[in-house]
Amino acid sequence: MGKMYFKVPKRYGDNPHQACCLYVPVDVDFQTVGSATEEKSGKQGLSMTNTRDIDRACRILKYMREVPACAVMKHLNPAGVARYTKHNPRRVAECFRDAWDGDPVAAFGSAVVFTKPVDKETAGLIQDGSHYVEVVAAPDFEEGVMGIFESARVDGGKKKVNPSMRVVTFQNLDKLPRYQGDPVNHMEIVTNDDGSLFIQEPYLTMIRSPDDTEVVTKRVPTEAEYDDMLSAWYVTQGLRSNGVALWRDGQLLAGGTGQQERVRSIRYAVDLVKEKGHSTEGSVLGSDGYIPMRDNIDKCAENDIKAIIEPGESMADKIVISACDENDIAMVFTKERCFSHH
């Protein structure tokens, strides 16, 4: 493909019996995951999945890079995401706390990735003995943080916390392309079992602001709902299709991911929120594909979901919009799909 690469051995691929190396292009303007530095190697360094979790987190967090934000990743999908907003100005530690709460069961053994340097407050929370973390990755770590990662103990000093945790620094989150028209320095490659390849352009969205969406319901979203819908849209891009994101006040309440039916993704996300004893009231829904049937809207209405962002342009749009109007749900169309089959 016309580039020179250097080889970075990885602990293993998807499974321990699969050998794996990362190939990093030599002559490019910048690297993020490719140039990441292991500050603490844990048990024999990063696996391919650890590295890809960091990459998948960066694909979401690049849309939040101006503010404190955290993504808790498991098997290349976000178990939780939380960010600073003007309505809820979270500190870095609070972003971690709320991201972990997105799905604390799935977060067990996760990769935790930040947009901003990790401070001692955040490190202390990660190492309080109630969070099993495999990887922490951030642009930097405050002085004293590595000591917390190395020495934290519980049970009266008998048990070391996260002794195998890998700690990674990465750079250039601010240079990753986000929107259509941004310069890119790579193509995405998918390999078939016979060795043939697909090469496609990377996904970049057209949606920069509410002005890039179309309101299709009688009720126009509020400013706070617009803010939440944009974040939900950016997070939905990071979910395996069919994917939906339930988002409220700067926090991923739950993601419904990898379901063949969209309504099942919605049900899964709603049920996950309720399992934690929480409510979906006032939340917004992001959907990576168009909503094909009224039953999707009925499920949202039953659970007090107040606004929806989705591609639209379905044969059932009129039925879906009418159902939203009946239930005072605001809906906007992006007129673009954001499927991901990672």
Please indicate, yes or no, if residue 241 is contained in any of the structural domains.
yes
Same domain membership, residue 137 and residue 12: yes
Please indicate, yes or no, if residue 30 is contained in any of the structural domains.
yes
Tokens for 76, please give them: 């290349």
Q: How many domains does the chain have?
A: 2
Same domain membership, residue 134 and residue 241: no
Burial class (CB in 10 A: 0-12, 13-18, 19+), 335: middle
Same domain membership, residue 245 and residue 144: no
Same domain membership, residue 49 and residue 162: yes
Residue numbers of the domain that contains 129: 5-175
Same domain membership, residue 83 and residue 227: no
Predicted structure pTM score: 0.96
Please indicate, yes or no, if residue 340 is contained in any of the structural domains.
no
* Rounded mean pLDDT, 270-288: 95
Same domain membership, residue 157 and residue 27: yes
What are the b/e assignments for 128-142, b being 16+ CB within 10 Å? eeebebbbbbbbebb
Tell me how far apart the terminal alpha carbons of the chain are, to the nearest angstrom.
Answer: 22
Flag whether pLDDT at 328 surpasses 70: yes
Same domain membership, residue 41 and residue 166: yes
Please indicate, yes or no, if residue 67 is contained in any of the structural domains.
yes
The CATH number of the domain holding residue 316 is: 3.40.140.20
Same domain membership, residue 156 and residue 9: yes
d(CA 257, CA 77): 8
Please indicate, yes or no, if residue 266 is contained in any of the structural domains.
yes
Confidence category of residue 2, pLDDT binned at 50, 70, 90: low
Confidence category of residue 1, pLDDT binned at 50, 70, 90: low
Residue 113: per-residue pLDDT = 98
Per-residue pLDDT reduced to its tens digit, 7-18: 999 999 999 999
Phi first, then psi, for residue 69 (nearest 5°) are -160, 155
Same domain membership, residue 234 and residue 92: no
* Rounded mean pLDDT, 252-272: 94
Burial class (CB in 10 A: 0-12, 13-18, 19+), 212: middle
Same domain membership, residue 156 and residue 108: yes
Q: Which of 175, 194, 229 is the last residue of a domain?
A: 175
In the chain, % of residues over pLDDT 70:
99
* Rounded mean pLDDT, 93-111: 96
Q: What's the mean per-residue pLDDT of the chain?
A: 95
Same domain membership, residue 215 and residue 157: no
Please indicate, yes or no, if residue 171 is contained in any of the structural domains.
yes
Same domain membership, residue 268 and residue 147: no
Please indicate, yes or no, if residue 187 is contained in any of the structural domains.
no
